[in-house]
Structure formats: C-alpha cells, structure tokens
Chain A
Amino acid sequence: MSSPADRLVYMANQIGTFFRSQGHDKAVPGIADHIKKFWDPRMKRAIFAHLDAGGTGLEPNVLEALTSLRQTTSLPAAH
C-alpha cells in the first residue's frame, strides 16, 4: 500500500469484499452507495482518476460500482 492510489484501490476492494456475498445485483449499488456516502471529494476524484487510467487492481463489482457512481457524481473542482 505505498501509493495513495493503491491505498484507495485497497479500500474500495475491501468494501467490495463485504458486499460480495450479497450477489452482484445488490453488491454493485451497495458499493457505490457506500463510497458516495463516506469518501471525501479528493478521495473520489483520485479513485475516478485511477478508473480513467484503466482501474488496475479493482475487483469487477467495484469497477462497475465506481463507473456507475462517477456518472451520477458531480464533484466541486479541486482548489
């Protein structure tokens, strides 16, 4: 967990792991909702940037959740 992006990927996948046992259809919105509710804008911006760069390391459900979350999120610009 050296780089900030690695750390966020790790955290996102951890959330994904919890929801995995609820099945794909519940897991994807569950993960998206959790990140939406608990991550600060700079963390969201960073994980979206990582997503743009290919989203290496993200579990499939998490990748899907982040993709859908990004479509419905408008973040204030970074200062």
Chain B
Amino acid sequence: MSLIEEIDYGTPRSKSETMVTLTIDGNEVTVPEGTSIMRAAMDAGHQIPKLCATDMVDAFGSCRLCVVEIEGRAGTPASCTTPVMNGLVVHTQSERLKKLRKGVMELYISDHPLDCLTCGANGDCELQDMAGAVGLRDVRYGYEGENHVFAKSHGEINAAWMPKDESNPYFTYDPSKCIVCSRCVRACEEVQGTFALTISGRGFDSRVSPGMSESFLGSECVSCGACVQACPTATLTEKSVIEIGQPEHSVVTTCAYCGVGCTFKAEMRGEEVVRMVPYKDGKANRGHSCVKGRFAWGYTNHKERILNPMIRERIEDPWREVSWDEAFSFAAARMRGIQKKYGRDAIGGITSSRCTNEETYLVQKLIRAGFGNNNVDTCARVCHSPTGYGLSVTFGTSAGTQDFDSVENTDVAMIIGANPASAHPVFASRLKKRLRQGAKLIVVDPRRTEMVESPHVKALHLPLLPGTNVAVVTALAHVIVTEGLVNEAFVRERCDWSEFEEWAAFVAQPKHSPEATAILTGVDPQTLREAARVYATGGNGAIYYGLGVTEHSQGSTTVIAIANLAMATGNIGRPGVGVNPLRGQNNVQGSCDMGSFPHELPGYRHIAGDAVREQFEAMWDVKLNPEPGLRIPNMFDAAIEGTFMGLYVQGEDILQSDPNTKHVVAALSAMECVIVHDLFLNETANYAHVFLPGSSFLEKDGTFTNAERRIQRVRKVMSPKNGMADWEVTIALAKAMGFEMNYRHPSEIMDEIAALTPTFAGVSYAKLEELGSVQWPCNEKAPEGTPVMHIDGFVRGKGKFIVTEYVATDERTGPRFPLLLTTGRILSQYNVGAQTRRTENVVWHAEDRLEIHPHDAELRGVRDGDWVRLQSRAGETTLRAEITDRVSPGVVYTTFHHPDTQANVITTDYSDWATNCPEYKVTAVQISPSNGPSDWQKSYDEQARHSRRIAPAEAAE
C-alpha cells in the first residue's frame, strides 16, 4: 500500500466532444476543444512547471511559471490560460523558458522563509517542488529587503509581517508562507461557493484575507477545506499534519456523515489517520468536502468511546464490564426468555443507517430468521419512510431518480423543505456552481435558509407556514394545469392518461389556486405562480427535497404531490431533471434497500409475497413470518401496552432522535431487555441492559449507499478499537441466540444480497473495485449501474397520478400555543450530534438556539441570548433565543443536535398517515422568558448521569 497520488492536470477537464490535435515537445496530442495547453501536456505526460494553477479551479495565469513557446506566436504565453488549437506546435522547455522560470522562482523565494526542514508542508510543497524543477540554486536578491517573512527586520517591527491565524480548530493560516497565488480564494469561490476569502491590497501589499481581514473563525468561512487542499505551500495546512507529519499510505473510503456519500482518501501513518482528503474520482463529491467529512473524524478516538461490553440487571444499576461471551449469553438468555414469556413477537430490533449495507442486512436477517418475526425497523422511519412510500406508488421505486452529476444539466432547481447548504453541503456547492452559471432557484421553506442567502444566487423564495406543503405543491400544480403548461406529450406517452385527467380536474378546482390557498400557506400568490411557470417552462427542472417534506402528518402525500408535478411537466427520465430526496444519514438509502422496513424484504418486496419469501426461506433455511412487523412508533406503543419487551438497537439513538421523549422513555423503561450497540453511551443506553461497543467506519469493511443509489466501498484503515467489527458482533449475538450465520468477510454478505435481490444482482466487491462505485439497479440489463432512472418508462409501467388533498394537521396553534415550531440542522453538527459534539466542531455550535422573529420576541420581552421556556402540549424545555428575521412571525425554529436541549420533549405523537413518520416539523408552542433549565431537563440530566455509572473493576465478580 502506498500514498495515492492524484494527477493534477492544472486546469479543469473540458466537456467538449470536438477533438483538437496539436504537437507538444514533438509528440502529437489529441484532446477536447477548450483544453489548456498545460492540461494537454500533462495528458501526454509532460508536466509544465506551475504554481497558481490546479485542476480544481479555472486557470488564472498569475504566476508566469507555466510559460511555453508556440511556433509562429510571439512571446511566451502562459500554458494554463492558452487553449489548444489544431496544428499548434508547442515547446515546454527552451533556454529562454528556463531563464524566465528561474527568474520567477528567484523572486518568489526571496520573500519566503527557508525553514523547509521543519515546515509542516515538508514533503508536500509545490513551491519546493518547483524550485527543484526549475533548478533554482541561488537567490541573488538576498532576504534582507522588504518582506513578509520576518516579524522584525533591521531591529524594527516589520509591518508587512502577519502572525499565524490558528483560530480555525482544524487548519492554520501562516501568511508568511503565502505566495498570493490566490488558489485558496478561487477554491472558496468556484468550488465551495462561499466567497469567504479575497485578496486584499495590491502588489506587494496583497494578502489573502478572510472576510474583511478577519480571523478564519470569525469570517464567513465554513471550513470545507477546499482552500487547504488548493494551497501549494504551508500557508494553509491541516493542524493534524503539522502535529503528526506527512502520511505514508492512503486508502480510498466513503464518508460516514450525510447522504451525499463523499469519497475520501484516508491518509495514514501506520494505523493513525493523518488527514481525510476528498478524492477527485469520487463520483458524488468530485473532489470536494465539507467540515464534517474533511475534519470532524476525531470522535473515532474520543475518550468517551466505550470499548468493552457491559451488562446490568436493572437500568438503575451501574454498568458492569464483562467479556464479549458473557455479554452475548446474558443478552441471548434475556431475549429468548422474553419470547418464552410474552411470545415470539415480543422482541425486535432497529437497524442503523450509519452502519454498512452488510451490517444492516445481517440485523434484519437476525430478526426475521433468528427472532422469527418481522419487528425490524430503521431510523428511516423517522425521516424518509414517506419517500419510500410516495415514490414507490407513483414511479415504482423507493429512491431518487438522478445522480448528483445531473445537477450540471439542471436549468431550474426547486428545493422543498431542505437546506442543503447546511445538511448536504457538498451537493449544495455543486448546485450553487450551476446556479452561478445561470440556472434558476426556487426554495419552498418556512425559513430564509442559507440557500436563499447564497452569494451570487437569486432565489424565488416561497416562505410557507409549516404544515402546508400539500397545499403549496398542489397550488403549483393548479397553475401548471390551468395555465396550459402541462407537457402533454410526455404524460400521454409515459403515464396513465385517465388517472392524469382525474388528477388534472382535481388540481384545477378553484379552491386549489394560489389565491385561494394563500390564507392557509402564507405564500404570496404571484410569487407562487411565477415559481410554477419557471419550473414548468424553464428547461430541465429538478426537485430536491428533504425532511421538511416528509416529517409531517401528510409527508407521504407531499412526496406524491411532488412526483405528480414532475410527471406533469415531463421532468423525469433524463439528466438535469428528476425527483431527488436528499437523504439525511450516510446509509439511509442502503438501510431501506436492505430490507429494514418491517413489511418488506431486501429490494422493497413485500413479506407477504410467497415467491419472494420462499427464495429467502430457501437461502436462510428457515420459515419466515408472512405478516408485517411493528414500526418504531408501534414498538413504543406495544411496549407501553406490555406486548413488546426486548429490543436490539444498532447505531441509532432513538431516545434523542424520536419524537415525544417522555413517551419513548416510558416505552424503553417498560422493556425487559434493551441492547444498545453503539460507539458511545448514548441517550438510549440510559435505559439499556446490555451495551455492545461498536466500531467506527474507519475500522471495518463494507459498503454505504448514498442518496443517488450509489453503492460505495467503506474500507478498513485500522483494527477495530473494540476488537470486533459491527457485523461480527451481530453474528456472535445471533449465534448465542442459536441462529448461525457464517461469513468470513463482508464481501460474502454482499454476494448473498446480490443473489437474493434483482436490483443488486450485478453488485460484487470485485465490480466495486473495478468501477469505484455503482448505482443500483445493477444487473444484467444495466451491468454498470443506472445513473438516471425511468429513462424509457417508469419502473412500475405507467406513471401514476394520485390526487393530493390538503388536510391540516391536528397539531393546531391556539391561544395557549400560538407559535409553530419547526426544526432543522446546522452545518457543523450532524443529527443527534453523537459524533460531531465529540469533535472541535463545537466551536461553531456549542448549543441549540431558538430562532424567533423580532416581533414575536418583543411581544414576549425576549432579548437576543435570553433563556426562554419552550412549551408544547407534549412537554417543555429551555434554551437560549436568537432573534432573527430568517423566520417569519409566528414561526420559531431550532436544531436538535444537543441532548441537553431536549428538543424532542416538545415534539408530539402525530405522524404521517401512511408510514407513521413523526411530524417533527410542526409543533404548536408557546415561549416565555425563563431563568434556566426546566425541571424535566434537570431530572433527565440526573437520571442520565446516574445511569452512565460504570462500576469499578474490583466490584465485578
């Protein structure tokens, strides 16, 4: 194994299909039109010296190191900014060029420190490489002149010198090493789209400046790492590299944070991670990253990680560390005991959307075949289960229709109930790049999100009242139908025409018009009409949506309404269009694909289907139960009722993430055996009897499937710190319960999945090795996978239009609870925060805040930063207020990343009609000033601290 070196071609790839042939250093080279001479030379294996060019950003032509000679042209043009032409004859090396380059390097080095031996970039410095490449042996100017290098010169303070900026927790900015190539500034603009950096001053005064000469931490910088990656010197360097040194080998793997599924190189020294660097060949991220994947992996060796199995008789007892064997036999005896006492259906499990496909598959197999029931569910229940239902009934598959590359062909992007800039940042950057090229943006969201406020982006914002999605999307359909904007040819060819007619007549009713529904939705009818026209007629229209769509009592209805909209406008079945759910966790798509839902086997096939069930029965050598099992909320109800008493939870913190915490506490407390399999003693573990330590994504092999159905390898870079990978733990637990599963490697699990699941038939580790990744369906018909779905027709046959009547949620505002609370995420934190709270990311978001409009705040005497009491019909909590007009009057907003906030004490039992996905996004609340934590928070905290005690070793017998 060695360090994977990616070739830097100097300028981006041209997409042109017209080819051009030229001669470089005597070799004929054929490249696409629009390619730079620099890139063409690199294609031919000739590296022209360069400093300001790198292929992640457009050519800039400032360093003048990449000069070449072209026969018949005067002067020495920069090869990065000069495009190829047929018949050009280029020379990259000549006496004149050598002299020019040496002169340029001499000037650079005359204002650069010579501490190469002790420099953080030693071994990975392009400036050093170029000095070597041009044969620089002497600097005639000396180092005593005006410079940026020394704090003092000639005994006096040097005003041009600036100290290091170490404010960012993950990287340093050392201005004394800067050569002002502006690669960082351009990466921030072109790749990330944040525009946090600029070059201030002119000439010798030019400096890289975060914001208005602020610190990196104090500026708009989102710490994505693109600038650090772009920097050719030690000016911007990862602190981990400065501390540890250069990596010696690297392994390509997949990020374990959100559903974008970025590919990274884990750069290692032995079993220690030095840094995570986004991989250019990663098809989801194309070489970009965000603060979480790039930097926030420190949780994997956080001191709070539990590495030994633990058990206890009662949840009031302290934990007792035991051997793996003892933990497994204790857990098995309890679970089997419960089944004996309460019946076979009295236990179940929850698979993890953070674990691999193979691990998820094993957990559902253990439950269906080992437990003998179908009480398996996954956290997708509380996020994207309506997507599964809605897209399956309309299109025939429970997944998004596009790949992320599709956005490069999008002309109109409509984002509904999602904030990709915070929750799916790398996709957001790719979208913003397209928007800066002229694509239009429509945002349907109660808040003015970061997407709406992106620099150089003008969005049509429809700030609806939480809970009125169906009314808004149906009103969009009303405009499209009544203004004659339907793509009739598409509908006639691809969809059921009579169902369409029925739907069209329904949405055309005057009561669905933007004007009639404005009173419910709060959306300006004119803006809504404009949005509908833009989406229907603006070219390739793509819808991206998130949990703001699904987590409602009408979540499934909204997904159906979105599918209707895409079908009616013909925006399905080619690059640039589609319906794209943005998945929350790294493997939500995968955990759903793997049969984590109680009613369906892997590949979304209902458990009641005899043919499919018999296939699994034959492979697993066991009789399966044909009745669907309990969904998570049903499990809680059944626990309180006394019929569901044992639960195995892998990698999921249901107590913090599920709604109505008090209800969850009651359910967990009622159970006789709760097995938590996780990295940390999470909130759920406070009510657990068995704790099985988990392994991080760095410690195991497997695959994750991202939001674009892309199956990607997760590769082990270090031994499991707890001794066993999660799939091995599940196998051992199954064995203790008398159910044998024999696999030597996760690849064998994938082979079984492929054998049983038609959409995965062509998937194997060998194919993933060969292609890097593959998007399902991957089978005989599509051996290399399927980037865009429904190209020649819908998977279900004809696309199905279904009428979507708006029904107000039963969660109503009233005199006691006049405000609507909705929830969301912030960039630096992830989900319940179990990982990100255990990293330096807390500098950006140390606590959850309640966003409240100035009018509502003033009415209640709340000032910015005040503690407020947040009260709903379900419960109350306290947190601090942030006064902002991002939210409309009547709407308040918070995140749920911190357990002490207890945002889910507030949320209610209401759920989606079809899938029981909880209605997180609408809760009627009241807000009042407060002095500090509520009684519930205090007693919860006390219970949690009590429950997390681990008995000292000598107390164990």
Measuring CB to CB, which residues of chain A are less than 8 angstroms from any residue of chain B? 1, 4, 7, 11, 14-15, 17-18, 20-22, 34, 36-43, 75-76, 78-79
Shortest CB-to-CB span from A77 to chain B, Å, is: 10
Q: Are A75 and B913 in contact (CB under 8 A)?
A: no
User: Is B506 in the interface zone, CB < 8 Å from A?
Assistant: yes
Shortest CB-to-CB span from B801 to chain A, Å, is: 11
Stretch at the interface among B153-161, B193-201, B353-361, B629-637: B629-637
The residue that B627 contacts in the complex, of A1, A18, A41, with Cβ under 8 A, is A41
Residue interface mask B548-580, A partner, CB < 8 A = 1: 000001101100000000000000000000000
Contacts of B344 in A (CB 8 A): 79
Most buried by B among A21, A40, A41: A40
Contacts of B630 in A (CB 8 A): 40, 42-43
Q: Are B914 and A15 in contact (CB under 8 A)?
A: yes
Q: Are A18 and B913 in contact (CB under 8 A)?
A: yes
A15 to B807, CA, bound (A): 12
Contacts of A38 in B (CB 8 A): 599, 628, 631, 914-915
Q: Are B553 and A76 in contact (CB under 8 A)?
A: no
12 new A-B pairs (CB below 8 Å) besides A17-B807, A40-B634?
Answer: A1-B909, A37-B608, A38-B628, A40-B374, A40-B629, A40-B630, A41-B345, A42-B638, A43-B634, A78-B343, A79-B342, A79-B343
Q: Are A4 and B627 in contact (CB under 8 A)?
A: no
Given the known interface contacts A15-B913, A15-B914, A34-B914, the answer about A22 and B375 at a Cβ–Cβ threshold of 8 Å is no
Q: Are B598 and A40 in contact (CB under 8 A)?
A: yes
Shortest CB-to-CB span from A76 to chain B, Å, is: 7
Contacts of A34 in B (CB 8 A): 914
Say whether chain A's binding surface is mostly helix, strand, loop, or mixed: helix
Instruction: Pick the 8 closest A-B CB pairs, nearest first.
Output: A79-B343, A14-B913, A21-B805, A40-B630, A41-B627, A21-B803, A18-B913, A40-B629
Shortest CB-to-CB span from B781 to chain A, Å, is: 28
Q: Are B628 and A39 in contact (CB under 8 A)?
A: yes
Which residues of chain B from 657 to 697 have any CB-CB distance to chain A below 8 Å in the complex?
A: none
Q: Are A42 and B506 in contact (CB under 8 A)?
A: no
Q: Are A40 and B916 in contact (CB under 8 A)?
A: no
User: Is B606 in the interface zone, CB < 8 Å from A?
Assistant: yes
The residue that A7 contacts in the complex, of B346, B637, B643, with Cβ under 8 A, is B637
Contacts of A76 in B (CB 8 A): 625, 627
A6 to B557, CA, bound (A): 23
Shortest CB-to-CB span from B662 to chain A, Å, is: 14
Contacts of B272 in A (CB 8 A): none
Measuring CB to CB, which residues of chain B are less than 8 angstroms from any residue of chain A? 342-346, 374-375, 506, 553-554, 556-557, 598-599, 606, 608, 625, 627-631, 634, 637-638, 641, 643, 802-805, 807, 909, 913-916
Q: Are B606 and A11 in contact (CB under 8 A)?
A: no
A4 to B803, CA, bound (A): 31
Q: Are A14 and B553 in contact (CB under 8 A)?
A: yes
Contacts of A20 in B (CB 8 A): 805
Contacts of A43 in B (CB 8 A): 630, 634
A1 to B375, CA, bound (A): 23
Contacts of A4 in B (CB 8 A): 637, 641
Shortest CB-to-CB span from A45 to chain B, Å, is: 10
Shortest CB-to-CB span from A29 to chain B, Å, is: 14
Contacts of B599 in A (CB 8 A): 37-38
Contacts of B556 in A (CB 8 A): 18
Most buried by A among B342, B374, B805, B913: B913
A-B contacts, 22 of them at CB < 8 A, read: A1-B909, A7-B637, A15-B913, A17-B913, A18-B556, A18-B913, A18-B914, A21-B506, A21-B804, A37-B599, A37-B628, A38-B631, A39-B628, A40-B345, A40-B598, A40-B628, A40-B629, A42-B345, A42-B643, A43-B630, A79-B344, A79-B346
